[in-house]
Amino acid sequence: MTPKLIVCEHPLIQDKLTALRDKKTEPAMFRRLMEETGALMGYEVLRGLRTRKKTVRTPMGPAPSLCVDQSIVFVAILRAGLGMIPGLLQIAPQARIGHIGLYRDEETLNPVRYYVRLPKDLDKSFVVLCDPMLATGGSAVEALHILKTDKAKQICLLSLIASKAGVARVHREHPDVPIFTAGVDAVLNKVGYIVPGLGDAGDRLFATL
């Protein structure tokens, strides 16, 4: 299986990413941009949804059409993944939402699990794991392990900025999971931050700096 990395190069996504990276962007605007980026990138990710044929009647007669034929689940890695959920729900309001609480141990950078609440029937669902930052990849790998233990079969990872090392780690440990991102940064510093990245996504989103 060839692991997939899809870089969303749409000008609107790139423009919003630029504003998100800008340290002058205040939390209120940061939140709004994260939400909008969630919607735009979600549109790309959900291209893989299964559809079925359906005929509807227009005022002029029958129209052979298509409709979505798969349950959708968005899973936010807390905290920063929450920022993308409102935008994703704008385009797929029928989706169900899961939460995976992880924080990185400051010394080891390993993810520490503190909360998991997932919808049922993940095995039949199209699951989108959301976390704007893919740094060492430890959090994503752990969250993917949790989802697969709960029988999820079709999973995409949605991240706004990915480090090269994070992409390599997810591809190595979960080669079946396509990664959608808006930017790939080369450097991961000694404390596991993406450089240039955008700083601490959770802190910028929730104004806890």
Cite the active site residues: 104, 108, 200, 203
**Tokens 């790309």 map to which residue?**
44
71-78 vs 96-104, strand pairing mode: parallel
Helical segments of the chain, H only: 11-21, 27-45, 85-91, 138-149, 164-173, 201-206
Residues 113-142 that bind ligand URA (CB under 6 A): 133, 135
Interaction between residue 200 and ligand URA (CB under 6 A): yes
- Closest by CA to 76, choosing from 39, 128, 152, is 128
CA distance 108 to 123: 32
Complex with ligand PRP: residue 68 or 145, whichever CB lies closer: 145
Show the site string, 52-91: x = touches ligand PRP by CB under 6 A, - = not. Answer: -------------------------xxxx-----------
Q: Least distance from C-beta 194 to ligand URA, angstroms? A: 4
**Tokens 């794991």 map to which residue?**
129
Total residues in contact with ligand PRP, by rule CB under 6 A: 21
Distance of CA 68 to the CA centre of its chain: 20
CA distance 96 to 125: 10
Please state the φ and ψ torsions of residue 119, each to the nearest 5 degrees.
-65, 165
Residues 65-124 that bind ligand URA (CB under 6 A): 80
User: Choosing among ligand URA, ligand PRP, none, which partner's interface includes residue 197 (Cβ < 5 to 8 Å by kind)?
Assistant: ligand URA
Interaction between residue 206 and ligand URA (CB under 6 A): no
Residues that bind ligand URA (CB under 6 A): 80, 133, 135, 192-194, 197, 200-202
Residues found near ligand PRP in the complex (CB under 6 A): 77-80, 103-104, 109, 111, 131, 133-140, 166, 192, 201-202
